[in-house]
Amino acid sequence: MPIQVTCPGCHTRFKVGDQHAGKSGACPKCKGAIQIPEASDEVVIHAPELEAGAVDSKGRSVLKPIKRKEAKFSANALAIVIGLILLSIAVAWLIGQSDLEDAQRWWVLVGGAILLGPLISYAGYSFLRDDELGVYQGTDVVVRSLSCGLVYALLWGVYMYVGVQLFDFEAGLNVAQILGMGAPILGVGALAAFVCFDLDPTSGFFHYALYVLVTVGLRFVMQLPFLPGMN
């Protein structure tokens, strides 16, 4: 009867003939020294007779283990993101050179903040995510990117509303006023990234900061102050 042997070094399990009982030899995998037990000392560990979950007529489990999907780098997705960002810069420059009225320019800023939100949310998630925790793909990542992007755009609206209600935008905001409004908004933005993408607090902060930096940069291209209310 074959003897079950477990290598103490690499923990590889294999069988040897009972004629080798009590002898020493080398592990076929790691080549480490092993002592083959006597046939009477052999301990056989049997698998459980019943496994949790559904089984077929022969008692075998019909459930397959869930495999975590690994994210794959997509050159096409990266090219699309870069292309749209370059297009946004070109459009912002053209708007800056145009003779749009203030009301028209305001609507352009609102539309741009909304359109860029999901794009930047997806781009930020693609390199800030933790693949060990699994990744969102397909429709799931689209919905989450849309949700997170719309929250980011809404936070610009909150900044404008609070600033108009509490301060004099015409006279301009000072550093303390900007920081007083900006700090809570940054916290809410990081929380949105956590809720939508399960990012840790630090990654969530950088995720929202990426959106702020891109939109502020586009304001600069349009020859506007970096932040609304800043002179």
Residue with the two structure tokens 């912002």: 92
What digits encode the pLDDT tens for the residues 75-114?
Answer: 666 676 677 778 878 877 887 788 777 778 778 888 888 8
pLDDT at residue 71 above 50?
no
Residues 6+ apart with CB under 8 A from 148: 117, 118, 121, 192, 193, 196, 197, 207
Alpha-carbon distance 104 to 101, whole Å?
5
Say whether pTM exceeds 0.85.
Answer: no
Query: What does the pLDDT look like over 174-220, one tens digit per residue?
Result: 888 888 888 999 999 999 999 999 888 899 999 999 999 988 888 88
The answer on 28 and 139 residing in a single domain is no
Is 228 within the bounds of a domain? no
Q: Is 155 helix (H, G, I), strand (E, B) or coil?
A: helix
Report if residue 56 sits inside a domain: no
Domain match, 184 and 83 both: yes
| Mean of per-residue pLDDT scores for the chain | 79
Judgement on whether residues 160 and 202 belong to the same structural domain of the protein: yes
The Cβ of residue 179 has, within 10 Å, a number of other Cβ atoms equal to 11
88 shares a domain with 200: yes
What pLDDT is stored for residue 7 in this prediction?
82
> Within this chain, do residues 110 and 20 fall inside the same structural domain, yes or no?
no
User: Which helix (H) or strand (E) element contains residue 212?
Assistant: helix 201-221
52: confidence class by pLDDT, cuts 50, 70, 90:
low
- Low-confidence winner among 8-12, 61-65, 118-122 (lowest mean pLDDT): 61-65
Tell me which residue range forms the domain holding 23.
3-41
